Structure formats: structure tokens, C-alpha cells
Structure 1
Amino acid sequence: MKQIVKPIKDSWVLKSVQDTLLNDFETGRRNYTIFQVGKATLLRVSDVLRLKKSDVFDENGRVKRNAYIIDKKTKKHNVLYLRPVERDLEDYYDWLKKWQQEHPNQSVFFSEWLFPSFTRPNKHIDGRRYYMIMHTVGDKLHLNYLGTHTMRKTGAYMVYQQT
């Protein structure tokens, strides 16, 4: 059975999804930031998860104005405008740093990946794992249309509504 993934069109539902991502998981700030970056940049989840810290942050930990990547699927060069998620990325950086101080035996903050796996920090979070996170959020909120592509579809829907 193929799952149907739809954009989140209702602002109240969007807020509920964001709140659940942020507050209902130990790694909530990471999960929330993945969603926000995907929604703002319209990237596929595979490209969001493959972002490195050096793509987004400068050597001082400040968010760069733009990120330059090559799409995994299409091999096209892509310029990401990061201003819409600058605050989310700054909050995420601070949270990750604090998390590292509270868990000194795990090297999550020192991973090259922007969204590291907390069980294997030398790798980024897996797409299947992020799907399970989104599925869990959908179960909690009784939404049967959430998936990894939801963030991209929601961002595209919001652009469509504005134009």
C-alpha cells in the first residue's frame, strides 16, 4: 500500500505539527529544524539530511547568507537562501552545543553533518528514521498524510498561495 503524502494547508495543523516535532522528542530541536529547512528551501528530504554544517554555518557558527549544494537526484547546482530559517538554524546550533555539554561522551556537536544521527554521530540522520518521526507525529495528531515529503509540499503550497 502506497502512502499518500499531502501538504499541510491549515495553519493550525502546521503549528501543531511543528510543536509536536519540537516538544515530543528528545531530539526535537533537530527534528523541527529539519522540517523548517525543508519547508523553506523546498529541498528533497535526502538533500536536507545531507547538508553539512560547513554548508550552512561559517567558521564562527553564524548562518551563511546562502548555501550552495548539488541536488542528489538531479545533480543540479542549487543556491539555498537561508534568511527565512536563520533564527531556527541559530537556535538549533545553540541547542546542539548545549546538548553536547550535557552528553560529553557523545560527539554529536563535532559531527560534520548538520543533522547528525544521535546514535552514530559520524553519519547523518537516515531518511527512514525521519519518516518514522513524521509518522509518529501523524499518529499523535491523527493525520494520515504526513511523510518526509510533507515539508517540501507544504513549502511549495505556501509559495503557491502567496502568488
Structure 2
Amino acid sequence: MKQTVLPIKDSNVLHEVQDTLLHNFRAGRRNYTIFQVGKATLLRVSDVLRLKINDIFDEQGNVKPNAYIHDKKTGKPNNLYLKPVAQDLTVYYEWLKEHDLIKEWLFPSTQRPERHITEKQYYKIMAKVGDLLEINYLGTHTMRKTGAYRVYEQTGHNIALVMKLLNHSSEQMTLAYLGLDQETTESMLDKIDFG
């Protein structure tokens, strides 16, 4: 049976996931920063893990305002706005320096720093977080879906913006991606004054 990966809609659960990523792993700072970057940029995990240090930081180690990449899955160009995650990246850069991991990849494997962490490795990390917190809907797409959901909620349900950020071509695809199931739809409809 295929696991259903959903966005984290509850802020308390989100903080628990972030705290667990940061404090329950030897490379917790890396794992946490992967999650933060994925959530803030709405990139697929494959694109987050393929980021290089020089995509994100200038030669002095400062976070660039934007990063320009091509999505692996779609081949479409993508302009990443990094300001929402700049503080996390700044702290992470210091962690990389401290552990002598400033090589090519932004998110290197701790076992083989010449390579980036794999999707399979990050899936195992998210699965362990799910086990520790007894949450059955976490996966590698959790960060992207959570970021999309937060943008949707905090922009007054601006579906066009979320579609653009996700590089989706249909509103239906985006609504399904956000995990807006029947229960959520009914909850929203309960708040409407139909007069």
C-alpha cells in the first residue's frame, strides 16, 4: 500500500517535526535545513538535494537573494527567492564550515561528502521522524506540501500563487496537492455566510 504524504497543517506539529530533525540526528542541522529550504522554496526533494553551495552562497559565504535552477522533473527554469530561509542558511553555512563540509554540494552526505545526500537517505530520516512522533503521513514531499499549504493559507487562499510556485498547470492538481480533502472543504464551507 502506498503511503499518503500530506502537508503539516498544525503549527505545533510542524515545530515538533523541525525540533526532531534538528536534535535527533548526528547531522541534524543539515536535515533541518533541507526541510526548511524545501518548505520555503517549494522545490521537490530531488531539486533541493541537488543544490550546490555556489547556487546559494556567494564567495564570501553570504546567502544570495535568489538562486536560479532548472527543475529536474520538468526542466522548467525556477527562480528561488531565498530571503525567507536566509537565517537558517546562514547558521547552516557555519555548521558546514565547522564540519569541514564546504565542498560542492549544499547538502552533502556525511559518509561521502563528495556526494549529496540521496532521496532514499532523506526518506529514511523523515520516516524516523514520523516514527518518533507517531505521525504516519510524513515523507520527502512533506516539506514542499507544507510550504505550499502555508502559502495558500497565509495569502488568503491565493491558489494562482501556489500554482506558480509549484510549477503546476492546473488548479485541481494544486488543490489535491494541498491535501484539501472533503473534510477540509466542508470545514471551509462551514465558515461561509451564505445569507
Q: What TM-score does the superposition give when structure 2 sets the normalisation length?
A: 0.79
Q: Distance in 2 between matches of 1:122 and 1:55?
A: 16
| Alignment RMSD | 0.6
Contact 2:53 2:102 in 1 (8 A): no
* 2:68 aligned residue: 68
Deviation at 1:93, TM superposition (A): 0.5
- Counterpart residue number, 2:86: 86
SS in 1 for 2:8: coil
Q: Which residue is 1:45 aligned to?
A: 45
Select the residue among 128, 131, 134 that pairs with 2:126. 134
Q: How does 1:1-163 map to 2 (within 5 A)?
A: 1-100=1-100, 109-163=101-155
Q: Amino acid of the residue matched to residue 5 of structure 2?
A: V
Secondary structure of the equivalent of 1:78? strand
Displacement after TM superposition at 1:155 (Å): 0.3
Between the aligned partners of 2:107 and 2:28, the Cα distance in structure 1 is 12
**Superposition TM-score, scaled by structure 1 size:** 0.94
Count of aligned pairs: 155
Equivalent AA in structure 1 for residue 15 of structure 2: K
Question: Cα deviation per residue 1:7-61 (whole Å; 9 max; x = unaligned)?
Answer: 0000000000000000000100000000000000000000000000000000000
How far 1:110 moved relative to its partner? 3.3
Structure 2: give runs of 5+ residues left out of the alignment.
156-195
Query: 5+ unaligned residues in a row in structure 1: which ranges?
Result: 101-108
| Identity in percent | 70
Moved more, 90-99 or 72-81: 90-99
Separation in structure 1 between the aligned mates of residue 136 and residue 78 of structure 2, nearest angstrom: 31
Structure-2 residue corresponding to 1:104: none
1:124 aligned partner, one-letter code: H
Secondary structure at the aligned position of 1:143 is classed as coil
Task: Compute the displacement of 1:97 (Å).
Answer: 1.0
Query: Which structure has the larger Rg over C-alpha atoms?
Result: 2
Structure 1 segments of 4 or more deviating over 6 A?
none
- How far apart are the structure 2 equivalents of 1:19 and 1:96? 19
Letter in 2 for 1:77: P
